Structures are given as C-alpha cells and as structure tokens.
Amino acid sequence: MKQEQLSDALNYLPDEMLEETEHVRSVTRQKRIWRKWMAAAACLVLVFCVSLLMIPQQFFKDGTKELPILTVHRESGRDTGSFACVEAYDASEIVNDNPWSEEAEISTLPVYRRQFIYDPNRDNYGYDFAKMEALLRDVAGRLGLDAEHLEVKERKGSYYFNAYLTAKDEGIEIEVGHNMTVDIEFKHKVSLPDQYRFTDHTSYQEVAAAAVYLKEEYKELIGMENPQINITGGDYNDKLQQSYDLEFYDGSGDIKNKIVNYNFNRIVFYTSGKKLWLIRLFCPDLSEMVGEYPIITTEEATDCLLRGDYISSVFYEVPGREYIKKTELVYKVEDYEEYYMPYYEFYVELPQEEQENGLKTYGIYQVPAVEEKYISYKGKANFN
C-alpha cells in the first residue's frame, strides 16, 4: 500500500481510535528512549567499575594495607671485613646538612623499586643503555661539550656493564654506570682561584667558601632549581686530621621532596692536592614508586635498636640508650637492595674502641623507618 493510500484510509477511522493509537505510539516511543538511556547508563557504570579495579587499592581505601611487603637483608654489608664507623672526639663534630630533623612532621615517605639489583648469579641485568646514554649526553652538554657528536662506547666490568665516552680534545672523560651515576674526570686537574682552599683536609670554613665559588662556576652542570650546599664529614684519620666532602642537592619543594633529593639527586666535588679532579652526579632511576609508606617515630626506632632489631656491620651490641649520640633519617642505596627505602641511622658510641687520646669511635646502626608490618627480614639479626 502506498503512503498516499494509507493516509486516505486513516481519514475514515473514528477520532477515538486515532487518539488511542497516538497514545500507544507515544508511550512506546518514550519506552524506547528510556531503554536507550538505561543502556548508556549501564555502560558508564561498567566502565567506572573496571576503572576502579585497575586503580591500586591504596589510592582509594583508608589505610595502606594493600602496599607490598618490603624485604630487608639483615646481613647487608657484613662481608666487607670492617664495620661502619666514624672517629671523633665528640659526635657533634660529625656534620651534614640533612633537611630531615626530628621536628619534621612526616607520617609517610615514598619507597621506590630499584631498576637494577646486583645478583652475582645472573649474567644479564637488563640495564637501560638508552637511558644511560641520554644521561651521558645531557651531562656533556651541560659541560659545554659537543654532546651530539661524542662517541659513546660500552664496556663490561667484572659484575656490571658500563657506558662511557671520552672527550679527549677537552681533556674530560665522562662515564655513566648501571646505577645512573655519572663520573666526570678531568685529565688535567682544575685549579681553583688562589683565595680558595679545598683539599682533603681543609677546614669546614674553607670548604664552605670554596662551595660558594663552585656553586657559581658550575651552575650549568649542577642544574638545580635551588641548589643547597651540603658539607659532610668531620671525622678524623690516623694523623688526627679532619676531612669533609662537598656536595649539592636540590632544596626545592616540600620536606619530602628535599629528603629525596638529599639522598638521591646529588652532585659531589672531589679534589686531589689543591685541584679539582672529579665531579660525580647521582641520578638514580626513581621512575617506579612502590607507594607512600607509613613510617615509625624516632623513639620507636630507638626501641628497635635497643632490643637488637637493627642492621649493621658493627659486631658490637648497642651498649645502652645513653650511648646513642646522633640520629638521622636516610635512604639506603646499595646495589643488593630491591628497594630504595628510608632508614633511621644511629651513631652509637662504642666504649670498647675509645682511644687513650680521647678519640671515640661511633658505630653506625640502621633501623628501617617503614612500619614493621610492611617489612620482611632475611638473615640473622646480629653477629651473636
């Protein structure tokens, strides 16, 4: 039937029937529209639910019980043949510019997964040579070298691979290691102006003066938004000489950002005699953050230390609370650790090692700063 014929036929139907037909059509149309919206809404709900499943639960649940357990090796560093310590007449002589303090109101700190883990049983460590080369060329450019045309070579060490390049015409060799540490070695050592003294055994004040000069002289290489001077050391050698190291870290951002930069993103200057011969940049890969972990207080960490729940290469037990002379919060960065995680580091006076001239030995003990429920220990708790 043609449309014209259908229209003529409808003209003969009673008005009541036409009205009823139109009502039914209207209701049917509304139902169809409603069903379309219902289907669309169902799709949106499905997408939302799938999105929630893809988000780690610690981002939307109260608490952090979903965070992975972190493995800690109690025996790390014990096979070195010596124990970690410093010697000074008083612990106050051991200095640094760590931005952390006991007054800092910090309840959580980030933990990162290392992109390289040392394992002597493996032949291939999966180093990212592309990242290493990019870092190498970036540093070369900041030194004013023709980074684009420098030749990059790879070499294999005893336990690791290394990428390096040498700019012989400039007398500079740049080497980047598997852990993204950059060494800049000056084949012809660089003299500082006569008014600055920066050697292995210059005073704190002399190192501080040299730091101001180096900060300006190498500002392009340092390349930090807010470079902070960090003078570390103060311990004595066998000739009763104190020594200090000079480094810079980026002091921009909040306290957490400063703590991370202080431990990871650093640049250190080394001298030989009175001349600069090496600059080392620490640029570890922190691209994989495991999560923000709740941390314990200094007092809680002290309790762990006193009951023998610590990590140290020192073979003496902690003699007592009164021998704890200095406390810091640091990150461990050793190759054999799976994670970069915060630790409390205690300097403990060892009465057994005190010398006749009054020089004291302070053993270094570490306690994980992450809450204990997130820690899984491996190895013996201590030497005894």
Question: Angle CA(246)–CA(252)–CA(255) in degrees, nearest 5?
Answer: 95
168 and 224 part of one domain? yes
pLDDT of residue 345: 97
Task: Tell me, yes or no, whether 196 and 218 share the same domain.
Answer: yes
Quickly count: other Cβ atoms within 10 Å of residue 222's Cβ: 19
Residues 146 and 262 occupy one common structural domain: yes
Q: What is the pLDDT of residue 47?
A: 41
Task: Quick: pLDDT tens for 38-67.
Answer: 555 544 444 444 444 444 444 434 444 589
List CB contacts of 21: < 8 A, sequence separation 6 or more.
Answer: none
The model's pTM: 0.79
Q: Are residues 253 and 301 in the same domain?
A: no
126 is written with which tokens? 């999966």
Tell me the DSSP string of 319-376.
--GGGEEEEEEEE---TT-SEE-EEEEEEEE-GGG--TTS-EEEEEEEEE-B-GGGEE
pLDDT-flagged residues of the chain (< 50): 1-10, 12-13, 17-18, 21, 24-25, 27-34, 37, 42-64, 79-80, 123-124, 158-161, 165
In this predicted structure, what is the pLDDT of residue 259?
A: 98
Are 251 and 137 found together in one domain? yes
Residues comprising the chain, all counted: 384
Answer yes or no: is 171 within a domain. yes
Do 200 and 258 lie in a common domain? yes
Token pair belonging to 265: 């993103």
Q: Tell me the backbone φ, ψ of residue 205, rounded to 5 degrees.
A: -65, -40
pLDDT of residue 155: 67
Please say which residue of 233, 258, 282 terminates a domain: 282
Report yes or no: 251 and 228 within 8 Å, Cβ to Cβ. yes
174/206 same-domain check? yes
Give a yes or no: residue 61 inside a domain. no
pLDDT tens for each residue of 327-346: 999 998 776 678 999 999 99
Question: What's the pLDDT score for residue 272?
Answer: 87
For residue 316, the Cα-to-chain-centroid distance in whole angstroms is 30
Range of the domain at 21: 14-54
Tell me, yes or no, whether 258 and 230 share the same domain. yes
